[in-house]
Structure 1
Amino acid sequence: MTLIDSDPDSDLAPLEFAVTRNLLGASPERRAEILADPGFGSSFTDHMVDICWSVRGGWHRPRVQPYGPISLDPAAAVLHYGQEIFEGIKAYRHADGSVHTFRPDQNGRRLQRSARRLALPELPVPYFIQSLRELVAVDGDWVPSGNDQSLYLRPFMFAKEAFLGVRPAHKVAYYLIASPAGAYFTGGVRPVSIWLSEDYARAGKGGTGAAKTGGNYAASLLPQSEAYENECDQVVFLDQDGNVEELGGMNIVFVYKDGTIVTPQSDSILEGITRESLLQLARDRGHKVEGRSVSLAQWREGVASGDIVEVFACGTAAVVTPIGLLKGKDFIDEQPLGSLALSLREELTDIQYGRREDTHGWLYRLDA
């Protein structure tokens, strides 16, 4: 593979991980029971990765250890100043039993961008990818093999130094945990309804919108609850100029009748790896792809005139979700349903699960 070789830190020597086995881990029978119906984010594998960082020592003490509680001083900076970031990535079981992940270099680079914005140290991409391999080496049996199932990998980093004072922490911890995940849509992919948040903003210009940090998601919980109260599945946010940004946890994409695909673009939107992969597949098919501002008025007028023929959301968990309804305080707009979203979803998931040729070199084998 060329993923690590293409990284500027590719000359780094691999970390020497200490491995402590979990003697109280799940039995094979219990693991099989969990994998039969894993749900999402409710069960976790037997081990986790931990790498320390300090101003003086850099990245050190890499280890794989039993999954369990993390001990924190009550004055740990993350608890008071929110210096925290995370990622989301999946491992897929292929038909031959091998385990692969998808574009981990991009997740590693996005973690670095998030770290830069939150004044955290940047974990070198080779170390990021190695952490995935080290965890799968001990917990590979947790990767499910059912239809649309995967092992969801959650890398995260936070300030652990104990102090009260507004400055970047001098001690940081990187962890990696994993959770077997079932199909996001248990009854098949279905269109979702979207609530327009008019009273709350997800991010502002110069803020942390482009970083994958917990504070962004915490700020979305109240408007997401408002969406539920209005019988909607998800919430969509606007920027200060009335332009569409993204959903609470997914990017949004518009398909026009001439085949052009448009996705909102600004420095306050999280760059989606799933979105970029879908857009590349669309380019491969000959679609014109544009990243630009789309106002709420342009969205509604485009649907009303028939110029917009399909709207969908995309992200790591759901991959692709057609949008069937946009609802605001004083309007309800039905959204046109087309075939492109589900066609792209099928192509992307076929690549991820090894059912279709990976012409872009996106797959990375973790168990070899």
Structure 2
Amino acid sequence: MTTPTIELKPTSSPLSDAEREAILAAPGFGRHFSDHMVTIQWTEGRGWHDAQLVPYGPLSLDPATTVLHYAQEIFEGLKAYRQPDGTVATFRPEANAKRFQRSAHRLGMPELPVETFIEACDVLVQHDKAWVPAHGGEESFYLRPFMIATEVGLGVKPANEYLFLVIGSPAGAYFAGGVKPVTIWLSEDRVRAVPGGMGDAKTGGNYAASLLAQAEASAKGCDQVAYLDAVEHKWVEELGGMNLYFVYDNHIVTPALTGSLLAGVTRDSLLTVARDLGYTSEEGRISIDQWREDSANGTLKEVFACGTAAVITPVGTVKSAGGEWVQGDGTPGEITMKLRDRLLDIQRGIAEDTHGWMHPLGD
């Protein structure tokens, strides 16, 4: 089915320049939202329709709306960056659009065409371009495309109505005072996902399932929680919201996608960036015993997590019920920082985009 052209219905009362600039001076993450949002409806038998750019505002949902009871919901996260010439470009929106389709398929939802996903993001950024932070730092404009089931009625089945939306939020540097290694809690009694489950879909339920373990990690003085596989409880998978990488001299390994891990766009990009910088990179398997032993004997040089929000986050300390250990000397590793700097330089238009990852929006 064809998708409709996005009808423009911009707000008549955008935030003032002074109010917007005050927000951009210290935006934080996910606390402030731009003037508009894009909405597209889907109805069984009709397909996608009523695509609009409208003022940002609340949604009105019936108490019996399907998403509130059966959690048919998916989302994405990507960023737009101000380039040196003042224009704006988004990073790998096609990869996010394809993952959005895979998530939709897994949850029995309609698949939004890739070109429509990208157009919706482009339209929002074009109209709210003033919300994109200035070039020079790590600040960006975070885009949150998402889709919910909107059919009214109770009954466990795929809904026959859906609403796709894109909202945007200015995002400050993740590490405002410099890159800081995080402390990880190793969860050995809870799992994030199972083979055949929804671990490879970007759906809110996966994040809800991680919140108790994250709270337990926080209570133990840790920043993030790491999960093991659900079958043998020995293979390292990922953090609650980020993928993991292990650095052995010039060799870099990330846990392979087994159906229970999320295929992170940043994760995928770093496999390529590492090779560009002369390192070997691959997907593999790392057991928790290997992680502990290789850290102790010094063969495992660095560990880092990666995701859209933080780009790369070094891992400094790992805690578990059986004890704790420090990765390396507890400071950000040299290769970790090289990878981080190169990826950020591509996103900010400082380094050459040899892989065609940046999607420019023009003036």
1:6 equivalent in structure 2: none
Q: Return the letter of the residue paired with 1:206.
A: G
After TM superposition, the structure 1 = structure 2 runs for residues 1-368 of structure 1, keeping only pairs within 5 Å, are 15-145=4-134, 147-240=137-230, 241=232, 242-257=234-249, 259-265=250-256, 266-336=258-328, 337=331, 338-367=333-362
**Partners in 1 of 2:286 and 2:277 — Cα distance?**
23
Q: Return the letter of the residue paired with 1:364.
A: H
**Partners in 1 of 2:4 and 2:338 — Cα distance?**
41
Q: SS at 2:128's partner residue?
A: helix
Q: Return the letter of the residue paired with 1:171.
A: E
Q: Return the letter of the residue paired with 1:264.
A: P
1:3 equivalent in structure 2: none
Cα distance change of structure 1 residues 155 and 272 upon mapping to structure 2, 3 Å threshold: same
Q: Return the letter of the residue paired with 1:250.
A: M
Unaligned runs of 5+ in 2: none
Cα-to-partner distance string for 1:130-181 (whole Å, 9 max, x where unaligned): 0011111211111011511000000000100011111111101100000000
Q: Return the letter of the residue paired with 1:103.
A: R
Q: Return the letter of the residue paired with 1:210.
A: D
Q: Is the 8 A contact 1:136 1:367 kept in 2?
A: no
**Partners in 1 of 2:290 and 2:298 — Cα distance?**
12
**Partners in 2 of 1:98 and 1:15 — Cα distance?**
27
Q: Return the letter of the residue paired with 1:35.
A: L
**Partners in 2 of 1:272 and 1:293 — Cα distance?**
17
**Partners in 1 of 2:316 and 2:3 — Cα distance?**
47
Greater Cα shift, 311-320 or 17-26? 17-26
Q: Is the 8 A contact 1:325 1:333 kept in 2?
A: yes
Equivalent pairs counted in the alignment come to 356
Q: Return the letter of the residue paired with 1:65.
A: V
Structure-2-length-normalised TM-score: 0.96
Q: Is the 8 A contact 1:50 1:174 kept in 2?
A: yes
Alignment identity in percent? 54
Q: SS at 2:31's partner residue?
A: coil
Q: SS at 1:252's partner residue?
A: strand
Q: Return the letter of the residue paired with 2:343.
A: L
Q: Is the 8 A contact 2:3 2:49 kept in 1?
A: no
Unaligned runs of 5+ in 1: 1-11
Structure-1-length-normalised TM-score: 0.94
**Partners in 1 of 2:319 and 2:305 — Cα distance?**
15
Deviation at 1:55, TM superposition (A): 1.2
**Partners in 2 of 1:91 and 1:76 — Cα distance?**
32
Q: Is the 8 A contact 1:251 1:314 kept in 2?
A: yes
**Partners in 2 of 1:341 and 1:137 — Cα distance?**
33
Q: SS at 1:49's partner residue?
A: strand
**Partners in 2 of 1:18 and 1:102 — Cα distance?**
25
Deviation at 1:87, TM superposition (A): 0.1
Deviation at 1:199, TM superposition (A): 2.1
1:7 equivalent in structure 2: none
Deviation at 1:13, TM superposition (A): 6.8
